[in-house]
Structures are given as C-alpha cells and as structure tokens.
Amino acid sequence: EGKRSAETLFFDYSRTYGLDIRVARIFNTYGRRMQPDDGRVVSNFIVQALRGEDLTVYGSGLQTRSFCYADDLIEGFMRLMNAPSAPTHPVNLGNPGEFTIMELATLVVGYTNSRSKIVHRP
C-alpha cells in the first residue's frame, strides 16, 4: 500500500500546486540483458530450463501475472511522457493479458526444448 499512498500524495501535490506529473505502474518486465540470477520468475525459469534443472513453481501455480517486454515498457514511457496533457490517474504500463505461473513454466520448457520437469513447492 506504500506505492498507492505515494501516488495519492503526488496527485494531491499536483492538484494543489498545478504541477504536471505522470505516474506509471510497471508490470513484471523481461527482455534482453536480464541478469540470470535476478530473482524474477521469467529469468529463473529460463535459467533452470537451460540447465536442465526442474522448474520450481511455488504454491499451486495458478497465481496470475502480467508480463511486459522491456522494449514495450520503454515505448509506454515515451508515450506517457510525450502526451500533451498529464493523465489524472496512474497509467498501467504492461500487458493486459495474464498468464498463470504454470502456463509460463510450460511455455519456457517448450520454447527451450528442455527436459526439465515442473515441480511444486509450498
């Protein structure tokens, strides 16, 4: 809730002092030059699959996430910053579609032609 509180403060400040602000909400990003051990689910799954290790899914795997390619995120930032007027609300920069973690794991195994298994952990 800290992020939402900060957004509220920014918009209050904007209304009070007439400041032009832009607030972006960034979704899970992925793309070229990702660090292999950055702790993100996309890079974790890719590294595990390429190493032939089991892909670790925590919980049921039915949790959903929306992913955004880094180049698309940059395009979204450019459009937001170059818009003639500032939106009066936060702008979501991401993909409207969601995947379950299991769907992502299955896609990664398929695209990498890995023999990795998908295992669940609590």
Domain count, the chain: 1
DSSP code of residue 18: T
Least Cα distance to 43 among 105, 91, 102, 92 occurs for: 105
- Model confidence at 37, pLDDT cuts 50, 70, 90, reads confident
pTM for this structure?
Answer: 0.81
Angle between helices 101-111 and 41-50 (to 10 degrees): 40
Average pLDDT over residues 33-42: 92
- Mean pLDDT over the full length of the chain: 95
The CATH number linked to 108 is 3.40.50.720
- Write down how long the chain is: 122
C-alpha closest to that of 80 among 97, 94, 66, 65? 94
Give the domain range for residue 72: 2-121
